[in-house]
């Protein structure tokens, strides 16, 4: 295993269809996530398959890192391992406008390939930040906290009313039952 995310791809660029596998374990601090959900001292495991094509390099793989946050309903600590998919295209060709042909669409969306090395730090960082849950749940059926008294509904049963009247309809609620229901 390598300890860096800069990969030499010179051997791949020489022959279309050539493949290379990259397995790296790096410290999260190297990515400068800037996100409190990801511990900077944890390890990020990256596994990428590289394949050369006639126009550049296709990189597909995944990155795994631990994360921790709080449940959006009950505020209990939650965490786990996030698996972020990496799917990038690097091209030596100059990107063209999308209005030309269907082939130009792939080239226009490709990252420029400069030199004989690819630095996967930024693609891994972006993939991980997009994959970490924004509003996680401790479990799918989490009841959360009572909005009136703040009791944890998973551990205690409060006596607060579950029906909350919308004050915007108060005038119509006052008329309920006073009008003749037989009006057609």
Domain boundaries, given as residue ranges, for the chain: 6-131
d(CA 65, CA 27): 10
pTM exceeds cut of 0.75: no
Chain length of the chain = 184
- Per-residue tokens: 10: 């010179």
Alpha carbon distance 40, 44 (integer Å): 10
Per residue of the chain (184 residues), give pLDDT as tens.
444 788 888 888 888 889 999 999 999 988 889 899 998 888 999 999 999 988 889 999 999 999 999 999 999 999 999 999 999 999 877 555 544 444 444 445 778 787 888 889 999 999 999 999 999 999 999 999 988 888 888 888 888 877 767 888 888 888 887 776 655 5
Taking residue 85's Cβ as centre, other Cβ atoms within 10 Å add up to: 11
């Amino acid at each position: 295993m390598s300890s860096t995310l800069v990969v030499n791809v010179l051997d791949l660029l020489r022959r279309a269809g050539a493949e290379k596998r990259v397995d790296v374990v790096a410290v999260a601090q190297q990515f400068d996530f800037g996100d409190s959900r990801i511990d900077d001292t944890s390890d990020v495991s990256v596994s990428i398959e590289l394949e050369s094509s006639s126009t550049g390099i296709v990189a597909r793989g995944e990155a795994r890192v631990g994360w921790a946050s709080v449940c959006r309903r009950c505020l209990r600590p939650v965490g786990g391992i996030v698996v972020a998919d990496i799917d990038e295209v690097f091209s030596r060709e100059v990107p063209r406008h999308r209005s030309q042909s269907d082939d130009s669409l792939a080239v226009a969306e490709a990252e420029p390939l400069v030199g004989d090395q690819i630095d996967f730090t930024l693609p891994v960082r972006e993939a991980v930040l997009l994959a970490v849950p924004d509003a996680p749940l401790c479990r799918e059926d989490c009841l959360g906290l009572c909005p009136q008294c703040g009791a944890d509904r998973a551990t205690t049963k409060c006596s607060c009313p579950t029906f909350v009247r919308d004050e915007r309809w108060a005038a119509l609620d006052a008329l309920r039952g006073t009008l003749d229901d037989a009006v057609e």
